[in-house]
Structure formats: structure tokens, C-alpha cells
Structure 1
Amino acid sequence: MLFHFPKNVVYSSDKLPLTLISLEEWSIIYINGLDSKKFLQNQLTIDMNYLKQNEYQISAHCNLNGKVYSTMLLFHYKKGYACIIKKSLSNLQIKEFKKYSIFSKVKIYQLDNVFLLGLSGNGSKLFLSKQFVKIPNYKDPVVFDKDTSILWFKNPCERFLLVLSLTDFLLFKQKINKNILLNNSKQWILLDIEAGYPIIEKNMSQKFLPQSINLDKFKAISMNKGCYYGQEIIAQVFYKDLNRHALYLLFSKGTIHPKVGSIIETKVLDKWFRIGFLLAIVHVHYNEIWVQAVLNKSVNIRNNFRIYGFKKIFLVKN
């Protein structure tokens, strides 16, 4: 085993010690070839013409009805593009891409020879600067150091995502000391939740419009470029203000283990009503539960909420 990432306590961003995070729940889809940019322009919600070499962009791939098939981080990688995507959707996304690539000069496949790591917490920039010649920042959120790519994130705290070759991974491993906490992907998921980045798993694919999961707040939806899948409906929802859902963060105390996709209910007078769906759940510290959920925008955020099948009461976390 190259690394052992124990299931340690998950910390909120304001309490996070220096932590190296396994991103075992993510994978990279690689797209290259003469038509790769044009192909992605016709598939994704972002305008590829604005994706610079030193930047990444949150994007979505939608079906013909404008529902989000998957969300991803897209950036230039070697001679093509890399999409960091939840592993549960990777094979399906590759299949979906290939369906529309028959007449394009592109190659699409998963990169199995790279390692994804997250780094965050107190002193993370200093730690990283001792390992690599170049590290990213707000001016250059993506940097390349030989076979390593490093992405910089501002929210909810400064953090980094490392894409390492096997050789660079083994060299990096040798420099790890006992002063850094090792944790699994739940820690990164919590940071994504705090940042407002939607977590789309396989069973929540093709359920929501991009505006319903706050992708408009990340400039992940272009209304001005040429056609892409679902654009007509997405544009109609935008211009006629038809979106009725939004992303919320709920919290409670204790421990429960509902499934992704569970129904969220809210209490009005003495009755419970279906109001949305659970996208992700993380147990924080020793006695907190944080839930990312898609809820109706009309909901009163001062209401009590619960996950169907569980009695525990949740509140909206501001």
C-alpha cells in the first residue's frame, strides 16, 4: 500500500489542522486530439474559449433536457484537457462523451496512472512550497511542475489539489512527516460543501438543472456561446426566472447514516412535507452532521427539517 489514509475526524475549515487528503472518490477523464476543444465546447456548460492555460473551471455536462449529468473540474493537461469527476460517474461519463464523439478527432479515457491528493489546513502553502518549485495562487490557480499539476482553491479556506504521476507521488511521499494529518476523502467533501460546490453522485445524476445546484454562482453556465446539450432549456429557465431550487447546508447533532438521494422534509404546522433531496452527508468533529441538500427556493430557512426515515431535526446553517 502506497499510503494509508485512516478515517480520522473530519474538521470544518476554521478548525482544520495541516492535512493531506486522499481523493479516492475522484478520478480523471482525459480528452485530447485535434477536435478536443471544439468537442467540449459542444458538450459542456462553460465557454471553452475563456479557459486559460493557468486556470481551471467548474463545469457541467447536461442531458438534452438540461439536467446535470455530472459536474467536473476542467483544466488544460498535457496536450488536452483533464476533467476531475466523482469516480461513481466516471465510466458513465466516458460512455456519454464517446456517444457524441463519433465524428470528432478526440480520444477519451480515464487516467489510471495518476494520483489525486488534497492539501489544506494551517501552514499548507508553506508545506507545499518546500516540496515544489512552483505553487499556485489566486493569479495562477493552476501550475505545472514537471509531471505534477497543482490547483489552488480559495474557499472555504486555502487548499490545493495535486495531480501526481507515480514517480512524483513516491518522491512526495518520502517528504511527508509526522506533523501532517492524513485523512480520507470525507474531509475534501466537507470543504466542497462549505464552498458551495455541488456533490453529484451517480444516483443524483440527471435530476437537477445547473441553476438548481448553484452552478451559476461559479460562472459555470454560459448563455452566450453556441449550442450545447440542454442549452435551450437552461437558457429558458435563466431568462424567464423559472428555477425553483437551490443548494442548502443543513446541520444537526449526533450520528445517522442515510443514503445519498434520501428525501428531505420540512415541518409546516404539524405536518411534514417533501421539500428536496440529500446530495452529501459528512459527520464533522465528534458530534455534528452536515448535509448538502437541494431544496425548494420557497422554503422558510427558519423551519425544522428532517431526512425521511429519521427523527433527527436539522436546521439551515448560514
Structure 2
Amino acid sequence: MHTSWLTANSYGKLSNQVQGAFIAPLPAFDIVSISGADNRKYLQSQTTCDIDKLGDDVFLRGAHCDAKGKTWSVFHLLQQGDELLAVAFRDELTASVAQWRKFGVFSKVSFTPAQDRFAVLGIGGTGAARLIEQLGFALPAGNGKLSRHNGGVLLQLAEAHFMLVLPTEQAIALLDADYPLAAPTLWLKQHILQGLCYLEQPLIGEFVPQMLNLQAVNAISFTKGCYLGQETVARMKYLGRNKRAAWILQAATDDMPVAGSDIEQQFNDNWRRVGQVINAVNINNQLWLIAVLPNDITPADSLRLKSDSAPALQLLPLPYPLS
């Protein structure tokens, strides 16, 4: 975990008990700068999102897949001058950059770590718009939009759920100022409740994008043309091949499952493995998680986490329709 921009004083301010709007440092998220004359053209051939839709006030959510359509990473992409910045959880970004570099040797494109130049933070909670105003940013025009201020970029991921990319010096100053600071887990809980996810090491290369609901959050373009893994992704849509989706679950337990942990469903007197945890967060013995399960699962189905305590899991509604 890169924590060079987080001071001991800042760590001491972080809490899961913040009421209302908050700012949370996200040190597990990294940034890579993608530069060179072919940076847009190259990414267009590598990712599920349409790079031509990128703009000064628009960012893209997208995925990078292998040739079989299995997802290496889920990222957020924005333009910063002539360079592009990809923001993602460290495990998945490391995996994608290794592949991008391998296949980009014949293109005018380079990939440079940028986490020493920029820091990633999350903003959320009731009253987030007021807090954003105090930081000097205009509220983005909606989901998928961004605003800029003094070298920083604010991305609206969902309703009252934001990602903030700041020059490192500004991030340090912000955390030392008098703002409500929260632990990353509070932001990650919101991320899960918005039906959004990222990939940790055990699950990289395991799922096609539709199993992560990426078609429902505008992270897949079905009109842009060819890209790595596109044949599989298109088959899932047009031939109805996808039988799995990402679902939000909750339980009262002190368990904290890791990525890839099994979820079981009851069939008569037996329990059978039906899915895997993608991301999970536990705050005050309340567990929230997002998991890949059959896409026809219902609240009437009996689900549990496979663990020593085997807590029952409650299915929560997704904030968007699946298509």
C-alpha cells in the first residue's frame, strides 16, 4: 500500500463513524499516465469503452479484457492535457498495465506510474454537494461527468458518490485541513451499495464484463468496433449467453470475507456453491458485499456465506436495471 502522501496525523483522523458528507483517502487505488501519439487509438483497441466519447467534462468507466473476454481490470479514464489517466484498484491496474505494455510495443504509447504525482480520494455521504462546493469544485453535471479545479479532477461515479484525483501536495494539505475525514471502508461501502466493484488479485481474469454488470453502468460500448475480447462480450449480449450478474448482499456478522470467498444457496436440505464475493466491507459487525451469482437469484432464495459461522445473506436491490 503506497502511503507516502498519508501522514500519521491524517491516519488518526480517519473514522467509520462520520455522519453526513466525508472525504476518504483511497491509498489502494493507483493511477497510470498513458501518453504518446497513439494513446487514444491504442486504448480504443484494448478496452470496452469508446475512447472517442472522452472529453474535458466526461470521463469513462471501462474494462480491459483478455482475448477470451475475461476481465483484467475495471477502471476510470480521464484526459489531462495530452495524457490520459487511468484510475483503478492497484491489483487490477498492475495486471492491465503489464498486458498493455506487452502489446503496445509497436504503437507510440507509453505507460507511466502517476501515483507519485496524484492521490485518489473518495467523497460521499449526505451533504456531499456542499462539501464539494467548499473544496472549490463545481458539482459535475451528472453520473459520468467531471469538474476541474486548480489541477484536480472530481468524477461523479453515482448519486452522492465521487472520486477525487488531486495533485499529491494538495491531497496532503486537504487531509491536514479541517474537513470530515472517513476511513476508506466508508467510501467502499457506498461503492458496493451503488452496485460498483473492482477486482482484487484472486478474481483477475475470472469474469466477463457483464457478470460485473458493466453493461448497466455504461462501461461497455456495443457500437465502437473491435477490441480485445469483443467477440465474447458481444456474444453474451446478442445470444443471451450470460447467466450471471453482480448482486449486493448484507449480513449481521463479524465475518470479513476475502475476494473469491464462496457463497452458498440452499436446495432442499443441501447447500451448494453458487457464487463468489467480489468486494466486501464490514463496519460495526454489519457486512456489505457485492458478489457474482446466478442472474435469476431472488430475495426468496436462501443464501449464506461459506464460513465457520455461515451467516445468512440478505439480497439488496440494485440501484440500476440489468439489461
Residue 240 of structure 2 corresponds to residue 241 of structure 1:
yes
Show CA shifts across 1:67-100 (max 9, x none): 1111001111232211111012232221111011
Q: For residues 279 and 303 of structure 1, do their structure 2 counterparts lie closer, same or farther at Cα, with a shift above 3 Å needed?
A: same
Q: Quote the residue 1:252 is aligned against.
A: 251
For 1:129, give the aligned amino acid: E
Q: Quote the residue 2:165 is aligned against.
A: 163
Q: Quote the residue 1:73 is aligned against.
A: 76
Show CA shifts across 1:149-200 (max 9, x none): 1212333xx13322111332344345x32xx432222122111111111221
Question: How far apart are residue 17 of structure 1 and its match?
Answer: 1.6
Matched residues in 1 for 2:71 and 2:137: separation? Answer: 38
Question: How far apart are residue 45 of structure 1 and its match?
Answer: 0.3
Question: How far apart are residue 240 of structure 1 and its match?
Answer: 0.5
From 47, 52, 59, the equivalent of 2:50 is 47
Q: Quote the residue 2:225 is aligned against.
A: 226
Q: Quote the residue 1:290 is aligned against.
A: 288
Q: Quote the residue 1:96 is aligned against.
A: 99
Matched residues in 2 for 1:205 and 1:119: separation? Answer: 26
Structure 1 residue runs without a partner (length 5+): none
Q: For residues 269 and 42 of structure 1, do their structure 2 counterparts lie closer, same or farther at Cα, with a shift above 3 Å needed?
A: same
Structure 2 residue runs without a partner (length 5+): 1-5, 318-323
**Does the CA contact (< 8 Å) of 2:264 and 2:273 recur in 1?**
yes
Matched residues in 2 for 1:267 and 1:139: separation? Answer: 37
Matched residues in 1 for 2:213 and 2:93: separation? Answer: 22
For 2:118, give the aligned amino acid: V
Q: Quote the residue 2:140 is aligned against.
A: 136
**Does the CA contact (< 8 Å) of 2:61 and 2:219 recur in 1?**
yes
**Does the CA contact (< 8 Å) of 2:137 and 2:154 recur in 1?**
no
Show CA shifts across 1:204-228 (max 9, x none): 1111111111000012112222211
Q: Secondary structure at the match of 1:315?
A: strand
Residue 153 of structure 2 corresponds to residue 149 of structure 1:
yes
Matched residues in 2 for 1:10 and 1:41: separation? Answer: 42
Q: Quote the residue 2:320 is aligned against.
A: none
Q: CA RMSD in A?
A: 2.0
Question: How far apart are residue 52 of structure 1 and its match?
Answer: 2.1
Q: How does 1:1-318 map to 2 (within 5 A)?
A: 2=7, 3-4=10-11, 8-9=15-16, 16-111=19-114, 112-132=116-136, 134-138=138-142, 141-155=145-159, 158-173=160-175, 176-177=177-178, 180-284=179-283, 286-310=284-308, 311-318=310-317
Q: For residues 91 and 287 of structure 1, do their structure 2 counterparts lie closer, same or farther at Cα, with a shift above 3 Å needed?
A: closer
Matched residues in 2 for 1:113 and 1:207: separation? Answer: 32
For 2:68, give the aligned amino acid: N
Q: For residues 297 and 24 of structure 1, do their structure 2 counterparts lie closer, same or farther at Cα, with a shift above 3 Å needed?
A: same
Q: Secondary structure at the match of 2:33?
A: strand
Q: Secondary structure at the match of 2:216?
A: helix
Matched residues in 1 for 2:126 and 2:40: separation? Answer: 38
For 2:287, give the aligned amino acid: I
For 1:163, give the aligned amino acid: V
TM-score, with structure 2 as normaliser: 0.89
Matched residues in 2 for 1:170 and 1:252: separation? Answer: 36
Matched residues in 2 for 1:35 and 1:163: separation? Answer: 24
**Does the CA contact (< 8 Å) of 1:147 and 1:168 recur in 2?**
no
TM-score, with structure 1 as normaliser: 0.90
**Does the CA contact (< 8 Å) of 2:152 and 2:166 recur in 1?**
yes
Q: For residues 103 and 141 of structure 1, do their structure 2 counterparts lie closer, same or farther at Cα, with a shift above 3 Å needed?
A: same
Matched residues in 1 for 2:61 and 2:31: separation? Answer: 14
Count of matched residue positions in the alignment of Structure 1 and Structure 2? 308
Matched residues in 1 for 2:220 and 2:188: separation? Answer: 22
